[in-house]
Structure formats: C-alpha cells, structure tokens
Amino acid sequence: MKSHRHNWWFWLFSAIVLIPTVLGFANKFLDLILVIQGDEEGAFAATPIVNYLFATAGFVCLLLWTATQGAFHNLDEPSRVMFENEQELDRRSATPLR
C-alpha cells in the first residue's frame, strides 16, 4: 500500500513540475518558429531558445555518458559502503585509546 501511495505522490509532483515547464518551452519554441519565419516581434526569443536547446542537449549527453559508464548499474552499493564505513568508524571510536 505504501508503494502505491509513493507512486501517486511521485506522479502528482511530476505533473506539477513538468506541465508548466513544457508549456513554457512550447511557447518559446513557437516564438522561435515565428522568428525563423521572419516575424520581428518574436526576435527576442531566439537567444533563450538556443540556450534551452544547448542546455537540454548537454543534459542528455551527460545522462547518456553516465548511463554508459555504469552509474545506474548498482544503486544500492554507495549507501551500503557508507553504512559499513560508519560502522567501522563507530567501532574504532568505541575502542579505548592506549
């Protein structure tokens, strides 16, 4: 039951974040199309749209590079290693100094 509740909140939050983002990007993309067609009023939109496209391409490349390097292969290992390190530090601090 908890998993179902978690999924519901995840999708709600995703919709709250993504819907305005997609609408804003679509508006700027429409302005870019108007600039390409020669409309002078949309000329201010060219720079932000190019920046959005470069940033998006950069993030996609970073995601692909990270996935190919195996960063998503074992997601539980870092937390397990940190827990083992913490246990080792606790064990060392519990040992009396000579």
pLDDT single digits (tens) 20-57: 988 988 887 787 777 778 767 666 767 777 888 899 89
Domain ranges of the chain: 2-71
User: Could you give the CA distance from residue 70 to residue 91 in angstroms, rounded to a whole number?
Assistant: 32
User: Could you give the CA distance from residue 19 to residue 26 in angstroms, rounded to a whole number?
Assistant: 11
pLDDT at 2 over 60: no
Reported pTM: 0.44
